Amino acid sequence: MAHRALRSPQESGVALVVLLVVVLAVAVVGMAMASNVIREAQIAVNESNAIQARYLAEAGIAAAAAQLVNNTYAGPLTQPLGVGSYTVQVTTVNSAVKRIVSTGQVFYQGTTPTTVSAAQQTIQATVLVLPQAFAKALLSNTVVTVFTAGTGSTPTVQNTVLRQLGAIHANNLNAEDPAVTVLGVGTTVINQVTTTQMTINIDPAVTCIACAPDATQPTIPFPTFNWASYQTRAQAAGTFFTSQGTFDAYVAARPTDPQGFRTLSGIVFVQAPILILPRTPAERKLKILGTLVVYQTSGFAINGLRFIACSVATPCGDLVLNGLAFPLGLNNLVFTGQNGDPAIMTGGGVLSLGFPGPLSITGLVYLLANTADPTQNPPSEPGYLVLGAPTAPVTIRGAVVGQRVNAFDSDSLVYDPSVFFPGLPSGLNATGGPSVLLPLSWSSAK
């Protein structure tokens, strides 16, 4: 039996077993490596898809931005492009602020490409869309004169916030020459000065940085004014007055805060040919936390000087006319505003020489034409004056839009587009022409 055992058939299978083990081991290793290679290839494909999806999303942002600039955005847009597509939607936060959400996706590729998403990326951008009229530090429908009249004055007009938008533009609709005049030692203009025709006269003594004068620019559509919208709001709030006296009484009845300030809030509309501040001691310390309109609504005939002044709706507390005083009889009025609505709207002189103390204005300053019809375009008469004085510097942080602008003596105008964050001025209609788009924030969806 021992001999038989030695002859058992199993003895001849060792090589086969070894071979099987080896083959199995190699197969396992091979499959693992193949799996790894496939996985790595898939990672590379995924990476490539993700990058393509991201660029598609960026294309969507660019497309929506172009439509917002050209005022042609008409709703959500899906655009096939290359191996995928982008879908972009613009949400209107308010009249000025828009949010763009763009999703780029890449489809599975193969012998039969599908519309099944292989990768997806979303980008959000929040932008400020402004009419061109609100994109300059200083815009005039006719001409602009910036000058100094007093020793030590250092009037400055600048757009250092958004330099690409330019500092000064004059539409020069009455074809006057020069269209822009900048005079005086100490005067500073920072960023481009443009007009549509005639010449730009910048005194060599002026500090003119990056002015690059250009007299061949197109006309910027000038906003028109809808005073009735302010009147309606004031009437609804019960703050509609028909004379200086009733306005003065209203101010005097306001309580004073610990600093001695009286506060105006909401929409205050004074229907009178003129409103002078301060007319009473109560007006010497005044915070305007709302909108103040002074306007003669009985037709457009000039009846003395009319003043239209708007301040803002939302109480922000920094519209402080501290120590403000205007000489009586000089027909001056100053208002300060925020919240998109103009700080100052007037049919006559805005700020005058001779009042004590500094004045700070935040917001848009809108100067109507001193014509029989304030919407007349071009205006038939000059009449808009913004003047400071060496002893009473005026700081404007925002923008000035006027039919005619004779500015500044010791004034500082710094363009600040954030005055439009809450929306565009509700009483101004500024349409036509491409818009200016300013990025506020950019983020990728995580």
Partner 1 sequence: MGPSSIRDERGFTLIELLIAIGLLVVIAGLFYALIITTDRGWSLLQGQLDTQQNSRVATDRLINDLQEATDLAVSGGTLTARKITILTCPAAAGDTRIFVENAADIPFPSTVTLAALATTTPATITGTGAGTCANGGTSLTLSAPLPASLTYAFPYGTIVFPIPVTYSLSGTQILRAGAALSDNAGGVTFAQHATTLASAATAGDATITVANTVADTCDFAIGDLVYVESEIRAVLLSPTCAGPAAILTLDQPLFFSHALGSPVGKKLAATQITSRLTQPPIGGGQTQQIILSSEGAPRNPPLK
DSSP letters spanning 365-402: EEE--SSSSTT-SS-SS---EE--BTTB-EEEEEEEEE
Per-residue burial over 312-348, b if 16 or more Cβ lie within 10 Å, else e, is bbebeeebbbeebbbeeeebbbbbbbbbbbbbbbbbb
CB neighbourhood size of 432 (10 A): 15
Burial class (CB in 10 A: 0-12, 13-18, 19+), 92: exposed
> What phi, psi does 189 have (nearest 5°)?
-125, 125
Q: Give least dist CB 312 to partner 1, A.
A: 9
- Measured from the CB atom, the residue of 254 and 397 that comes closer to partner 1 is 397
Tell me the three state secondary structure of residue 68. helix
CA distance 386 to 144: 11
Q: Give least dist CB 387 to partner 1, A.
A: 22
- Measured from the CB atom, the residue of 318 and 373 that comes closer to partner 1 is 318
Q: Give least dist CB 157 to partner 1, A.
A: 13
CA distance 219 to 222: 9
Q: Give least dist CB 55 to partner 1, A.
A: 13
- Measured from the CB atom, the residue of 219 and 360 that comes closer to partner 1 is 360
- Measured from the CB atom, the residue of 32 and 252 that comes closer to partner 1 is 32
Retrieve residue 6's tokens: 């030695």
C-beta of residue 339 within 8 angstroms of C-beta of residue 313: yes
Instruction: Give which of 258, 270, 260, 242 is closest to 321, Cα–Cα.
Output: 260
Q: Give least dist CB 166 to partner 1, A.
A: 10
In the block, tokens 């393509």 appear at 52
Q: Give least dist CB 294 to partner 1, A.
A: 23
Which chain residues interact with partner 1 by CB under 8 A?
Answer: 3-4, 6-7, 18, 22, 25-26, 29, 32-33, 36-37, 39-40, 43, 47, 91, 93-94, 97, 99, 124, 126, 128, 160-164, 190-191, 207-210, 212, 314-318, 338-339, 360, 362-363, 397, 416, 418-419, 421-423, 438-444, 446
- Measured from the CB atom, the residue of 142 and 159 that comes closer to partner 1 is 159
In the block, tokens 């915070």 appear at 287
Q: Give least dist CB 69 to partner 1, A.
A: 16
Q: Give least dist CB 93 to partner 1, A.
A: 5
C-beta of residue 178 within 8 angstroms of C-beta of residue 200: yes
- Measured from the CB atom, the residue of 93 and 149 that comes closer to partner 1 is 93
Work out whether the CA dihedral 434, 435, 436, 442 comes out positive or negative.
Answer: negative
- Measured from the CB atom, the residue of 30 and 82 that comes closer to partner 1 is 30
Q: Give least dist CB 106 to partner 1, A.
A: 16
- Measured from the CB atom, the residue of 118 and 438 that comes closer to partner 1 is 438
- Measured from the CB atom, the residue of 91 and 235 that comes closer to partner 1 is 91
- Measured from the CB atom, the residue of 182 and 385 that comes closer to partner 1 is 182
Q: Give least dist CB 122 to partner 1, A.
A: 12
Dihedral-angle region of residue 97 (phi above 0 means left; psi in -120 to 50 means alpha; beta otherwise): beta
Retrieve residue 394's tokens: 């005026």
Retrieve residue 68's tokens: 């917002």
